[in-house]
Amino acid sequence: MSEISVFVDSRGGNTKKVAEAIATEAGVSIGDINGTLPEDAKIVFLGSGTYGGKPGDAMTKFISAGNFTGRKVALFATSGGAEGAKNMMSIMADAVIQKGGTILGDYHCRGKFLLTNRGHPNQEDLENAKKFVRETLAKK
Ligand SMILES: Cc1cc2nc3c(=O)[nH]c(=O)nc-3n(C[C@H](O)[C@H](O)[C@H](O)COP(=O)(O)O)c2cc1C
């Protein structure tokens, strides 16, 4: 068991790629979004695609079912629009705070959607996600 855990809600696989980069950098595997938050998870990376300006339903349920008291949460997201993820991550942040958690930071990149953002998340997006992990763990 690790004190770091990673959970992702990804319908199309874009945010899953980011989650895999994050989990690799953190040296952990991705947890089951339909499962429960591990007792010993002190630092939790939570990520989702943006769907109608919101996180996915599984992520919304995961947060509302969890007790985040004493836990630090780093958010990540992909979206079609450049601004799409911002409002969505603030919805996630509010939900985490309401469940007793604190927010360490957030990371967002574009994800391919219909004919836009082809190739995203790309290698640079994934490298930036890994950098986000290093920065997050440095300030935990
Ligand atoms: C049903 C649906 C709704 C979406 N709504 C938004 C949106 O409101 N804002 C936005 O920026 N992108 C939106 N997108 C684009 C996705 O956020 C983007 O493709 C993201 O990378 C999907 O992540 P995933 O592959 O992990 O599911 C939407 C995509 C789908 C399929």
Domain ranges (residues) in the chain: 4-138
Cβ–ligand 1 contact at 51 (below 6 Å): yes
* pTM for the model: 0.97
Q: What is the pLDDT of residues 46-103, one digit of tens each?
A: 999 999 999 999 999 999 999 999 999 999 999 999 888 889 999 999 999 999 999 9
**Topology of the domain comprising 4-138:** Rossmann fold (3.40.50)
Q: Are 92 and 63 in contact (CB under 8 A)?
A: yes
Compute, in angstroms, the gap from residue 1 CA to the centroid of ligand 1.
Answer: 32
Q: In Å, how far from its chain's centre is CA 33?
A: 11
- For residues 140 and 127, give the distance between their C-alpha atoms in angstroms, rounded to a whole number: 20
The answer, yes or no, to whether any atom of ligand 1 lies below 6 A from the CB of 70, is no
Cis, bond preceding 38 (omega within 30 deg of 0): no
Q: 3-state SS of 25-76?
A: HHCCCECCCCCCCCCCCCEEEEEEECECCECCHHHHHHHHHCCCCCCEEEEE
Q: Is 118 in the pocket of ligand 1 (CB under 6 A)?
A: no
